Chain A
Amino acid sequence: MARGKPGSSLPAAALGVAAWLAAPTALAQAPASTPPRSEPRPEVVVTATRESDALLESKVVQALERDPYLFAGHINVSAENGIVRVEGIVEDPFDMVQVLRLARRIAGKRRVINEIEIVSLNQELN
Chain B
Amino acid sequence: MCGTRVLRSLVAVLAAVVILFGYPGGAAAQAGSAQSADQNMQERMRQMQQQIDELNRQLQQMKADQAKTQQQVQATQQQATATAQQFSATQKKVDEADKSLNTFMKGFFGTLDMSIDATTKGMQNMEAFGISGCTGPGGTLPCTFNTTPKMTPGWGPSPYGRVGWMGMMSSNGSNVGYRGTHRIDGSTVDFIYQVSTAINLAAAPGLQNTWTKQSNTVQGAIGLGDTYIGFKERQFGTLKFGTMYMPYKTSTDRMNPFSGGLGDYAVIMGNTGGDNRIEFGTRADHVVVYNSPTWQGASFDAAYQFGQNPDPYNNIVSLGGTDCYGGNLPGSGNLPLNCDDGGYNYGYSFDFKYELGGLYLTAAYELHGGVNRSSDGVGSNNPIYGALLGPPNPVTGCATPAPGTNSLTVLDWNDYNMLCAEFPGAAAAGTPEYNPGLDTVNEWAWKGGIQYTFDFGLSVSYIYESLKRNVPFFLEYQNERQRNGDWVALDYVFNGGRDRVAVGWAHAGASEGDPGGQHNFNPYGVGENTANLYSFGFWHKLDKQLSVYLQAADTVNNINAHYDIGAGGHGIKTDCHDATHPTFIDYSSAGPTTWGGCHPIGVSTGVDFKF
Question: Are the C-beta atoms of A92 and B357 separated by less than 8 Å?
Answer: no
The answer to the question of B7 belonging to the interface, with a C-beta cut-off of 8 Å to chain A, is no
| B202: nearest chain-A partner, CB-CB | A126
Q: How far apart sit A64 and B98, CA to CA, in the bound complex (Å)?
A: 22
Given contacts A69-B496, A93-B257, A119-B175, contact A124 B219 (CB under 8 A): yes
Given contacts A101-B455, A113-B294, A120-B245, contact A126 B541 (CB under 8 A): no
Question: Are the C-beta atoms of B254 and A123 separated by less than 8 Å?
Answer: no
Question: Are the C-beta atoms of B109 and A119 separated by less than 8 Å?
Answer: yes
Taking CB atoms, residues of chain B closer than 8 Å to A110 are: 297, 356-357
Q: How far apart sit A113 and B354, CA to CA, in the bound complex (Å)?
A: 11
| Residue in contact with A121 in the complex, picked from B179, B250, B259, B459, CB distance below 8 Å | B259
Question: Are the C-beta atoms of B569 and A121 separated by less than 8 Å?
Answer: yes
Q: How far apart sit A92 and B493, CA to CA, in the bound complex (Å)?
A: 13
Q: A120-B259, A122-B198, A125-B173 are in contact. List 20 more A-B contacts (CB 8 A).
A: A67-B497, A69-B496, A73-B106, A89-B179, A94-B500, A96-B254, A101-B453, A101-B457, A109-B358, A110-B297, A114-B294, A114-B355, A118-B259, A119-B109, A120-B245, A122-B174, A124-B198, A125-B198, A125-B200, A126-B200
Given contacts A121-B111, A122-B224, A126-B203, contact A98 B497 (CB under 8 A): yes
Question: Are the C-beta atoms of B256 and A93 separated by less than 8 Å?
Answer: yes
Question: Are the C-beta atoms of A97 and B254 separated by less than 8 Å?
Answer: yes
The answer to the question of B544 belonging to the interface, with a C-beta cut-off of 8 Å to chain A, is yes
**Chain A contact residues, majority secondary structure:** loop
Please give the distance in Å from B343's CB to the nearest CB on chain A.
16
Max chain B Cβ within 10 angstroms of own Cβ: one of A89, A97, A98, A117? A97
Interface string of B438-457 (1 = CB under 8 A from A): 00000000000000010101
Please give the distance in Å from B327's CB to the nearest CB on chain A.
8
Question: Are the C-beta atoms of A123 and B358 separated by less than 8 Å?
Answer: no
Question: Are the C-beta atoms of A120 and B219 separated by less than 8 Å?
Answer: no
* 20 A-B interface contacts by CB (under 8 A): A73-B109, A74-B109, A93-B259, A94-B257, A94-B491, A96-B254, A100-B453, A110-B297, A110-B356, A115-B299, A119-B226, A120-B226, A121-B111, A121-B259, A122-B173, A123-B283, A124-B198, A125-B199, A125-B219, A126-B203
Chain B: residues with CB nearer than 8 A to chain A? 106, 109-111, 170-175, 177, 179, 196, 198-200, 202-203, 208, 217, 219-220, 224-226, 245, 249-250, 253-257, 259-260, 266, 278, 281-283, 294, 297, 299, 327, 355-358, 453, 455, 457, 459, 491, 493, 496-498, 500, 539, 541, 543-545, 567-569, 571-572, 610-611
The answer to the question of A22 belonging to the interface, with a C-beta cut-off of 8 Å to chain B, is no
Taking CB atoms, residues of chain B closer than 8 Å to A101 are: 453, 455, 457
Question: Are the C-beta atoms of B541 and A89 separated by less than 8 Å?
Answer: no
Taking CB atoms, residues of chain A closer than 8 Å to B297 are: 110, 113
Chain A: residues with CB nearer than 8 A to chain B? 67-71, 73-74, 89, 91-94, 96-98, 100-101, 104, 109-110, 113-115, 117-126
Question: Are the C-beta atoms of A121 and B172 separated by less than 8 Å?
Answer: yes
Please give the distance in Å from B452's CB to the nearest CB on chain A.
11
Q: How far apart sit A97 and B460, CA to CA, in the bound complex (Å)?
A: 12
Question: Are the C-beta atoms of A126 and B572 separated by less than 8 Å?
Answer: yes
Q: How far apart sit A68 and B498, CA to CA, in the bound complex (Å)?
A: 8
Question: Are the C-beta atoms of A69 and B173 separated by less than 8 Å?
Answer: no
Q: How far apart sit A109 and B493, CA to CA, in the bound complex (Å)?
A: 19
**Chain B contact residues, majority secondary structure:** loop
Question: Are the C-beta atoms of B171 and A125 separated by less than 8 Å?
Answer: yes
Taking CB atoms, residues of chain A closer than 8 Å to B572 are: 126
Given contacts A91-B111, A121-B175, contact A68 B254 (CB under 8 A): no
Question: Are the C-beta atoms of B109 and A89 separated by less than 8 Å?
Answer: yes
Taking CB atoms, residues of chain B closer than 8 Å to A96 are: 254
| A121: nearest chain-B partner, CB-CB | B173
Taking CB atoms, residues of chain A closer than 8 Å to B203 are: 126
Question: Are the C-beta atoms of B224 and A124 separated by less than 8 Å?
Answer: yes
Please give the distance in Å from A103's CB to the nearest CB on chain B.
11
Question: Are the C-beta atoms of A125 and B226 separated by less than 8 Å?
Answer: no
Question: Are the C-beta atoms of B497 and A70 separated by less than 8 Å?
Answer: yes
Question: Are the C-beta atoms of A120 and B500 separated by less than 8 Å?
Answer: no
Q: How far apart sit A109 and B452, CA to CA, in the bound complex (Å)?
A: 13
Q: How far apart sit A55 and B567, CA to CA, in the bound complex (Å)?
A: 45
Taking CB atoms, residues of chain A closer than 8 Å to B250 are: 117-118, 120
Taking CB atoms, residues of chain B closer than 8 Å to A74 are: 106, 109
Please give the distance in Å from A117's CB to the nearest CB on chain B.
8
Question: Are the C-beta atoms of B544 and A69 separated by less than 8 Å?
Answer: yes
Q: How far apart sit A101 and B278, CA to CA, in the bound complex (Å)?
A: 31
Nearest first, the 7 closest Cβ-Cβ pairs linking A and B are: A121-B173, A121-B569, A109-B357, A122-B198, A69-B541, A121-B260, A69-B497
